[in-house]
């Protein structure tokens, strides 16, 4: 286990941000931390990277207290809010971070990998939002860390930059690296994660591989076109967009039989498992009703 959190509680001002969270990060995996705004993801990350200590519970990084600078040496971190020293150029920021590590990646290689090759001499204040984000993510990899902690790495990136970053993350993993990432893009977690932990209101509410979470939610998506919405039993949730009707159900076979028996006119029928995003919404929906 490269990092562990055991029954962590953390209060921030008047907010109980974490209420007994336990989590393991296994060597070599990509673990995605998901949850709605305010769920406690950033707070949990701040415990793991030693920025804060839990009020109760234990946090270990490579078996040690992450508040020790020597324990943090295995880490590469992308901050969520990007604040670079304003007078520096891109290459200087990279050099500044590289200087903290015994065997950093060559600066040019790092810049190339993260699509910053042409921007090395640019003042950091003159970067676009997406370029600054790419630089922040690149810095997490500068020291060849064992564990890269990426808090919302692709927020604000265009599709191409996001895919390029996914490739770099995969490459890091293939080289034996471990990744903990938070994201609001469920599609990103589905593409990259070996394991997902869903937080809600300071607690872990679901945990497993994306496949396992989808299976556990146990819903299928049935979609077809119809002018009228037929009354059908066994529908958990439905949505209509023009004549396109989407139904979520635990038993798609039974639902389709009922649809045919109802005599309703429909076409373009499609049945498929839910996406991770749909499963995530179903988990949170279940929580809200509990």
Ligand X SMILES: Nc1ncnc2c1ncn2[C@@H]1O[C@H](COP(=O)(O)OP(=O)(O)OP(=O)(O)O)[C@@H](O)[C@H]1O
Query: Where do contacts with ligand X occur on this chain (CB under 6 A)?
Result: 12-13, 15, 17, 35, 37-43
Lookup: tokens for 277:
């995003």
- Strands 178-182 and 147-151 turn out to be parallel
CB of 97 or CB of 197, closer to ligand X: 197
CB of 20 or CB of 38, closer to ligand X: 38
Diameter of the chain measured on Cα atoms: 71
In angstroms, give the least distance from the CB of 42 to ligand X: 3
In angstroms, give the least distance from the CB of 197 to ligand X: 12
| Rounded CA separation 165/31 (Å) | 16
CB of 41 or CB of 113, closer to ligand X: 41
H-helix or E-strand containing 197? strand 195-200
CB of 4 or CB of 43, closer to ligand X: 43
In angstroms, give the least distance from the CB of 167 to ligand X: 25
In angstroms, give the least distance from the CB of 3 to ligand X: 17
DSSP 82-142: ----TT-BHHHHHHHHHTTSSSPPPHHHHHHHTT-GGGTTSBGGGS-HHHHHHHHHHHHHT
In angstroms, give the least distance from the CB of 236 to ligand X: 26
What are the angstrom distances between the C-alpha of 120 and each of 95, 111, 135?
A: 11, 7, 10
CB of 15 or CB of 58, closer to ligand X: 15
């Amino acid at each position: 286990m490269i990092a562990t959190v055991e029954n962590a509680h953390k209060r921030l001002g008047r907010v109980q941000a974490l209420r007994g969270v336990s989590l393991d990060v296994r060597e070599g995996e990509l673990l995605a931390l998901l949850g709605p705004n305010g769920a406690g993801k950033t707070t949990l990350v701040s415990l793991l990277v030693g920025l804060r200590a839990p009020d109760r519970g234990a946090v270990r990084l490579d078996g040690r207290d992450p508040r020790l600078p020597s324990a943090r040496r295995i880490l590469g971190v992308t901050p969520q809010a990007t604040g670079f020293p304003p007078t520096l150029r891109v290459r200087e920021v990279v050099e500044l971070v590289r200087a903290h590590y015994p065997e950093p990646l060559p600066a040019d290689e790092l810049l190339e990998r993260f699509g910053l090759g042409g921007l090395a001499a640019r003042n950091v204040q003159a970067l676009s939002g997406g370029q600054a984000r790419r630089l922040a993510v690149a810095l997490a990899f500068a020291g060849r860390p064992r564990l890269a902690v990426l808090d919302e790495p692709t927020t604000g990136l265009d599709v191409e930059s996001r895919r390029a970053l996914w490739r770099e993350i995969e490459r890091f993993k293939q080289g034996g690296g471990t990744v903990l990432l938070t994201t609001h893009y469920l599609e990103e977690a589905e593409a990259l994660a070996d394991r997902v932990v869903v937080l809600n209101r300071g607690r872990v509410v679901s945990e497993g591989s994306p496949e396992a979470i989808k299976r556990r939610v146990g819903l299928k998506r049935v979609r077809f076109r119809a002018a009228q919405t037929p009354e059908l039993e066994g529908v958990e949730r439905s949505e209509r967009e023009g004549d396109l009707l989407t139904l979520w159900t635990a038993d798609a076979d039974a639902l389709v039989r009922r649809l045919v028996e109802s005599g309703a006119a429909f076409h373009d029928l499609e049945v498929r498992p839910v996406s991770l995003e749909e499963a995530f919404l179903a988990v949170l929906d279940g929580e809200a009703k509990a």
